[in-house]
Amino acid sequence: MVTPLMPTYARADLVFERGEGCWLVATDGKRYLDFAGGVAVNALGHAHPKLVEAITAQAQKLWHVSNLFRIKEAETLAEKLVKASFADTVFFCNSGAEAMECAIKMARKYHSVSGHPEKMRIISFDGSFHGRTLATLAAAGAQKYLEGFGPVLGGFDQVPYGDLEAVKKAITPETGAILIEPIEGEGGVRVPPPGFLKALRQICDERGLLLVLDEVQTGIGRTGKFFAYEWSGVTPDILGTAKGLGGGFPIGACLATEEAAKGMKAGSHGSTFGGNPLATTVAGAVVDIVLEKGFLARVNKMALLFKQRLAELKDRHPKIIAEIRGEGLLIGLRMIPPNGDFVAAAREQGLLTAAAGENVVRILPPLIIGEEEISEAVNRISAACKALETSVAAERGAAE
Ligand SMILES: *Cc1c(COP(=O)(O)O)cnc(C)c1O
């Protein structure tokens, strides 16, 4: 019989009761170091005092009013995001998929109002993930997620990630934009070759295309910059973000230059909940903290330290860890045994991680981690590696 909660996830049999900073406490009292971070959502850990304060104060005043009226909290958050980025204007929604849906619609609308409605095709990349709506699934083009859901929305041309020649070859007179994750998160923390974004920017400028970034996972300090594109030296035309933005409260945002957003007028797009006072207050508090002087410098310092310690672990466990990837605190460990085995072994040791493509285990700690949490995590990863080595050896012994 089906469970009341629709079984669309293969969940670990583990229930949490509360969270404190980088820790989660299960209903049986066991404590877990949360380096899955709600899949890059709990940017400031759990129950951050400033977020608790912000949401509590706002909850007592006003939750929702609809977009029929001005929303001061949304205006303030939009101003903050504009000031901190390439963007001139921001649309708020409730998730990453919606942020990317808005990005896709905006790119098409731009060319339509520019007199080129035929430029509605978008080049996207293998291994990408943009969400679970029909358009974002079509953009990513992953067969396993599209299977059985009817006609696939047209207008997307996938090319291999990091392959500049393939991008150039895929451009036709109907191409309007290039859509890319600066680092592919779900795809396995895949980092493109150096200079790739810059080269895409150049192609876009030469061919009159929009550069659309999916920073749903890489945004809000995750890679050590507020947005990952800042590492590249170029800026996009449109950018979607979500996950870390609300620190656990659902919110998404689609940022754009004035030019790219020129087709977005009253009535062009909308969202009932998008940008409501509660969500935008919480996100405003997250953004304030991440942009505080020294916050991102500390993220980079901790990331460097963590990666050094992980490199030592890789040397000590060459039969378990094949490669360390990523930027900032978006870290991937490519595994030799199945990544799911490692995730389970780490969980046994009280460390939460998240699986990704290419047999990678993602490590997505809260951005507030310190040296103590890193040491604790390294010990637990080491213990998980040892447990896996023992079980691999035992299996080999049984097979002989
Ligand atoms: C998680 C993710 C999404 C989808 O976000 P939802 O909030 O689940 O809709 C889109 N793009 C990227 C890069 C993501 O990591």
Angstrom distance (rounded) from CA 143 to CA 137: 9
Same fold, 16-34+294-399 and 49-290: no
> Of all protein residues, whose CA lies closest to atom 5 belonging to ligand 1?
96
Angstrom distance (rounded) from CA 387 to CA 400: 20
Q: What is the CATH number of domain 49-290?
A: 3.40.640.10
Ligand 1 centroid distance, CA of 178 (Å):
18
Ligand 1 centroid distance, CA of 38 (Å):
12
Ligand 1 centroid distance, CA of 355 (Å):
15
Angstrom distance (rounded) from CA 94 to CA 92: 7
**pLDDT value at position 287?**
98
User: Which ligand 1 atom minimizes the distance to the CA of 39?
Assistant: 1
Cβ atoms of 78 and 254 closer than 8 Å: no
User: Which ligand 1 atom minimizes the distance to the CA of 95?
Assistant: 7
Ligand 1 centroid distance, CA of 252 (Å):
9
What does the pLDDT profile of the chain (400 residues) look like in tens digits?
A: 999 999 999 999 999 999 999 999 999 999 999 999 999 999 999 999 999 999 999 999 999 999 999 999 999 999 999 999 999 999 999 999 999 999 999 999 999 999 999 999 999 999 999 999 999 999 999 999 999 999 999 999 999 999 999 999 999 999 999 999 999 999 999 999 999 999 999 999 999 999 999 999 999 999 999 999 999 999 999 999 999 999 999 999 999 999 999 999 999 999 999 999 999 999 999 999 999 999 999 999 999 999 999 999 999 999 999 999 999 999 999 999 999 999 999 999 999 999 999 999 999 999 999 999 999 999 999 999 999 999 878 877 777 6
User: Two tokens at 257?
Assistant: 């230059």
User: Which ligand 1 atom minimizes the distance to the CA of 243?
Assistant: 7
Angstrom distance (rounded) from CA 299 to CA 364: 12
One-character DSSP codes across 58-118: HHTT-S---TTS--HHHHHHHHHHHHTSS-SEEEEESSHHHHHHHHHHHHHHHHHHTT-TT
User: Which ligand 1 atom minimizes the distance to the CA of 136?
Assistant: 10
Ligand 1 centroid distance, CA of 250 (Å):
12
> Of all protein residues, whose CA lies closest to atom 15 belonging to ligand 1?
217
User: Which ligand 1 atom minimizes the distance to the CA of 252?
Assistant: 7
**pLDDT value at position 400?**
66
Q: Does domain 16-34+294-399 have CATH number 1.25.40.10?
A: no
**Which amino acid type is present at position 40?**
A
Domain residue extents for the chain: 16-34+294-399, 49-290
> Of all protein residues, whose CA lies closest to atom 10 belonging to ligand 1?
130
Ligand 1 centroid distance, CA of 267 (Å):
25
Ligand 1 centroid distance, CA of 316 (Å):
34
Cβ atoms of 328 and 223 closer than 8 Å: yes
**Candidates 126, 186, 215, 364: which one to mutate for ligand 1, based on the most atoms within 8 Å of Cβ?**
186
**Candidates 133, 161, 184, 217: which one to mutate for ligand 1, based on the most atoms within 8 Å of Cβ?**
217
Ligand 1 centroid distance, CA of 216 (Å):
5
- DSSP letter assigned to residue 184: B
Ligand 1 surroundings by CB, under 6 angstroms: 95-97, 100, 129-131, 181, 185-186, 214, 216-217, 242-243
One-character DSSP codes across 186-222: TTTSBPPPTTHHHHHHHHHHHHT-EEEEE-TTTTTTT
Ligand 1 centroid distance, CA of 396 (Å):
39
| Pure H helices in 4-64 | 37-40, 49-59
